[in-house]
Homo-oligomer: A and B are copies of this chain.
Amino acid sequence: MADKPARGLADVVAASTALSDIDGHAGRLSYRGYDINELTGNATFEEVSYLLQRGTQPNPAELDGYLAEFAAGRVIGPLAAADLSGIAARQQPMEALRSLVSLASADDPDARSNESAANLRKAARLTAQQPVLIASYQAARTGREPTAPDPGLGTAANFLLQLSGEKPEPRAAEILDACLVLHADHTMNASTFAARVCAATLSDMHSAVVAALGTLKGTLHGGANEQVMLGLEAIRASGGDPLEATGRQVAERLRQGEKIMGFGHRVYKTEDPRAAHLRKMSAELGAATGDDTYYRMSRRMEEVVFAEKGLYPNVDFYAATVYHYLGIPTDLFTPVFSASRMAGWTAHVIEQHADNRLIRPDSEYIGESGLSWVPLGAR
């Protein structure tokens, strides 16, 4: 038995993976050996999803086949569809996705098989399905008829199309595609780890990604991007010059020991490479929309937090304004994160099942012992 608990398992190696690698000191992230700085803008989300799930760059024929699987996967099965309006009316987005993906197993012919080929098919299907669930939820809660996907468009463009009902600008789709690439995998983050703990009991892929969705929901994980935007909106709504208000309020909150959402990361000791890409996208989109206030507020916030605490922005920080400028409702930011990370979660389930061992840690007991149970009448 180990003696001391590693609180939060920080620096404890829980599993081996060939999917992604972080060099926290150099600020590098790679997927299967390809640096994300090279992938971003050069590889589509579908190519990256294929790379993660199937292990190599797809050749043109392989990519065609994979895109056809995605196109076929852009549907909501009857069980989830039957419940969509009730769920959209009663559950918040991440609660709704947890329910909808759980229901979706009923309409996946491979749901009950952990065989390698079944897992590959499910991984593509779940990754194709996730943005459709999000957009359909949005349509349902706003009382709009769902928009059919366009078979000529990729995942990012289809998502923007189905979300708003209008075909997106090509550049907007390109930027969202790059965001999906940037969020696709990130070693043993909490939601991915939850998926692997689940899969390691030889449970199935739907159960594992439902566990991951519930885990991503937390504000210390995927929920952070929404919190960043809510923070920016609150500062702007407080009146006065937004940049001055940003500097003043953030400094004040840091003095009071408050945590500023979107800064710092357990693994990166320098700038998160994803943040650098997202910052550029935020600047470009802010300029294009003609109101880059939120971008400039973010820059100011970044300066103050770095000056006071030496902390760098993480992936959630500039993702917030990018999604905002893309017209995505704030409470769908974490769902968009899930649409990307589904590629990685499913790849981790495939990897876990391919060389499985139950993940069952130990615990340190800190309670009382040797107590005697007193009968009810004598209490």
* Interchain CB contact under 8 A, B82 and A103: no
Chain B residue numbers with a CB within 8 Å of A30 are: 369
In the complex, are the beta carbons of B215 and A211 less than 8 A apart?
A: yes
B362 and A14 contacting across the interface, CB-CB below 8 Å: yes
For the complex, give the distance between the alpha carbons of A17 and B79 in Å: 39
A39 at the interface (CB under 8 A from B): yes
Please tell me which one of the listed residues B6, B60, B111 contacts residue A95 in the complex, with CB atoms under 8 A apart: B111
* A210 touches B (CB below 8 Å): yes
Chain B residues positioned under 8 Å from A14 (CB to CB):
5-6, 9, 12, 361-363
Write the nearest CB–CB distance from A33 to chain B, whole angstroms. 4
| Contact for A91 among B105, B214, B371, CB less than 8 A | B105
Partner pick for A362 among B13, B211, B218, CB 8 A cutoff: B13
A186-194, A249-257, A271-279, A317-325 - the one binding chain B: A186-194
Known: A21-B367, A363-B16. A217 touches B193 (CB 8 A): no
Q: For residue A202, which residue of chain B has the nearest CB?
A: B218
* Nearest residue, chain B, Cβ from A48: B373
Interface membership of A8, Cβ < 8 A: yes
| Bound CA–CA A57/B379 (angstroms) | 8
CB contact between A197 and one of B18, B107, B190, B367 (< 8 Å): that residue: B190
**In residues 84-123 of chain A, which contact B (Cβ within 8 Å)?**
86-87, 90-92, 94-95, 98-99, 102-103, 105-107, 111-112
Q: Roughly how many angstroms separate A20 CA and B305 CA in the complex, as a whole number?
A: 42
Q: Which residues of B contact A59 (CB under 8 A)?
A: 379
Q: Which residues from chain B contact A79 at a C-beta distance below 8 Å?
A: 86-87, 90-91
Q: How far is the CA of A361 from the CA of B112 in the complex (A)?
A: 29
Task: Say yes or no: is A200 at the interface (Cβ < 8 Å to chain B).
Answer: yes
Nearest B residue to A3 via CB reads B13
Do residues B17 and A361 form an inter-chain contact, with CB atoms below 8 A?
Answer: no
Q: Interface readout for A41-60 with B: 1 if CB under 8 Å, 0 if not?
A: 01100010000000001111
- For residue A211, which residue of chain B has the nearest CB? B211
Which residues does chain B contribute within 8 Å of A13, judged by CB atoms?
1-6, 361-364
Q: Which of B42, B95, B189, B201 contacts A373 (CB 8 A)?
A: B42
Query: Which of B2, B193, B357 lies in contact with A12, CB distance below 8 A?
Result: B2
* A219 contacts the other chain (CB 8 A): yes
A346-374 vs B, Cβ < 8 Å mask (1 yes, 0 no) = 00000000000111111111111111111
Closest Cβ of chain B: how far from A266's Cβ, in Å? 5
A60 to B199, CA, bound (A): 42
Q: Are A105 and B111 in contact (CB under 8 A)?
A: no
Residue pair A105, B95 in contact (C-beta under 8 Å): yes
- The answer to whether B370 and A33 have CB atoms under 8 Å apart is yes
A223 CB within 8 Å of chain B: yes
| A-B contact list, 20 entries, CB within 8 Å | A6-B14, A8-B360, A9-B362, A13-B364, A16-B365, A18-B367, A30-B369, A33-B369, A43-B373, A58-B379, A95-B206, A98-B207, A99-B99, A188-B363, A189-B360, A198-B214, A201-B222, A204-B217, A210-B214, A266-B358
Known: A6-B14, A16-B365. 12 other contacts (CB 8 A): A5-B16, A7-B357, A9-B361, A10-B362, A32-B368, A38-B372, A57-B374, A102-B102, A199-B218, A201-B218, A208-B214, A211-B214
